[in-house]
Amino acid sequence: MENLEIERKFLVNKELWEALEKPAGTEYLQGYLCIDDDKAIRARVAGDKGFLTIKGTSETFSHPEFEYNIPVEEAVRLINLFSKSHVKKIRRKIPLGGHIWEVDEFCGENEGLLLAEIELNHPDQDFEKPAWLGAEVTGDKRYYNASLSVNSWKLR
């Protein structure tokens, strides 16, 4: 199936993560225009780039995803005009074993939460796990960004 994202998500060990030398991160603002059981529609500002993304229901490791580049000014307007909730974070990309780990350091209501994601070609694909990786939370809806936008991690 085209437009299928296969990813695994993990908590990050804060102590080990903070001890690492890391690349510079990119600030993200994600505004959710629609969140329901079947989909999440968001506008995203990632540094100086804008995106519109539609994600379908997750089947643990995979879900349909359609993402479109849009002018950053339009992404900001969509967030300001139509966003019901949002998430702010700093994303750092860490290459390891032929893959790129995306590590999100959340800000605002979710400050202190560290999540790492890896995109795969198929659900059973092997990958190297870095020492700073914590428990796997793939499929745990509490850690979906859409959920974090309305239910602060700190309140759990």
**Active site residue ranges:** 32
Element (DSSP H or E) covering residue 88? strand 85-96
Residue 58 DSSP code: -
Question: Rounded distance, CA 104 to CA 116, Å?
Answer: 6
CB distance 140 to 7 below 8 Å:
no
Question: Rounded distance, CA 66 to CA 53, Å?
Answer: 6
CB distance 101 to 92 below 8 Å:
no
